[in-house]
Amino acid sequence: MIPTVIETTDQRMLEIVNKVRNGERLTLEDGVYLYESDDILTIGQLANEVNLRKNGKKVYFIENMTLYFTNVCESHCAFCNFRRDEGEDGAYTLSGEEMIAYVEQHIHPGVREFHITGGHNQHVPFQYYVDSLKALHEHYPEVTIKAYTAAEIEFFTRISGMSTKEVLMALQQAGLKSLTGGGAEILSDQYRQKMKVEKANVDQYLDVHRTAHQLGMKTHTTMLYGAIESHEDRVRHMTQIRELQDETGGFMVFIPLSMQPRNKNAGIMRRNSAFEDLKTIAISRLMLDNIQHIKAYFINIGVQLTQMALAFGASDVHGTLVRERISHAAGANTPEGLTRKELIWLIKGAGRIPVERDTFYNEIEVHE
């Protein structure tokens, strides 16, 4: 049974409620209004209603493992504390054999996916990135490789002289099955200039995913919020993703990423509020009517708030991860990963049904 949204006397909010219930698409102005409203319960319950229609009470997770071949990066994005310069203390670039040795030490039975991102290391050729995937695929053929952001793909085109399509096809031949969602940040070139996002611009980010979808890949997409962007910037970001999804249908999930403060000891005034995090998840669910899943990412918002997010429109809690590094380098003070049992406990504690999935949301096991 779909729960009833709390009654409200706000006429503008009622108009939005009616639009959602009648299957009408929300506009940019609607999304901005929701962000500027403090009626988080109505927004949350409306998002919950939409999610229950799409996914019922099922909430998805995957047993996966994060891998980072290199943290050397040509870019100097203002929000990143993961990157290093070549030769800098802490910089590293692992060979395929070294990564396999690391995986052997940390992998556990049941891992279905490698989630691979890293720096834009201009000191190695494109073939290094191809060989990295190939080595993993040959040693772990049963594990799906989800690797590289759209920004990394654009970087590969520059160091290889190949087209986006040629780069993606070469990586597919090496074992690539899906792209990660990172590199989107906020899809505004003005924002990217101010935040020194020295990588793929808006059109390039969208074009990489468009090309991947045309090649038959299903991909993920993100939004990094909580810096200098306006509410309108966030909603415009969502509408651009929505438009591409109308065109290709290739996105499986949208992942709002809460900005981290670059210091684990940073006070609460340096972090997004729980109110803002829940509202962003709910608005994402309402705006992105053509994407099946909204992910609550416990690495950035914490385990307990992730559990709450399941009543605000989220239908995915990501996965086991095993030693996440990028958000933790930026100041996240959450666990670096969770066990399968912990994820099941988290979902059941929210009154939902845990569903173990593969990369493509095929159901592996339903935990009634």
* Alpha carbon distances (Å) from 255 to 201, 244, 294, 325: 19, 16, 6, 17
242 carries a ligand binding annotation: no
In this structure, the strands spanning 176-178 and 144-147 are parallel
73 carries a ligand binding annotation: yes
Q: List the one residue out of 151, 146, 150 whose CA is nearest residue 177.
A: 146
Retrieve residue 200's tokens.
Answer: 């793929």
Place of tokens 């988290």: 346
Beta-carbon contacts of residue 160 (< 8 Å; ≥ 6 apart): 125, 126, 166, 167
CA distance linking residue 50 with residue 312, whole number of Å? 10
The region, left, alpha or beta by phi > 0 then psi within -120 to 50, assigned to residue 358 is beta
137 carries a ligand binding annotation: no
Partners of 113 in the beta sheet?
A: 64, 144
Binding-site positions read 73, 77, 80
Binding-site positions for [4Fe-4S] cluster read 73, 77, 80
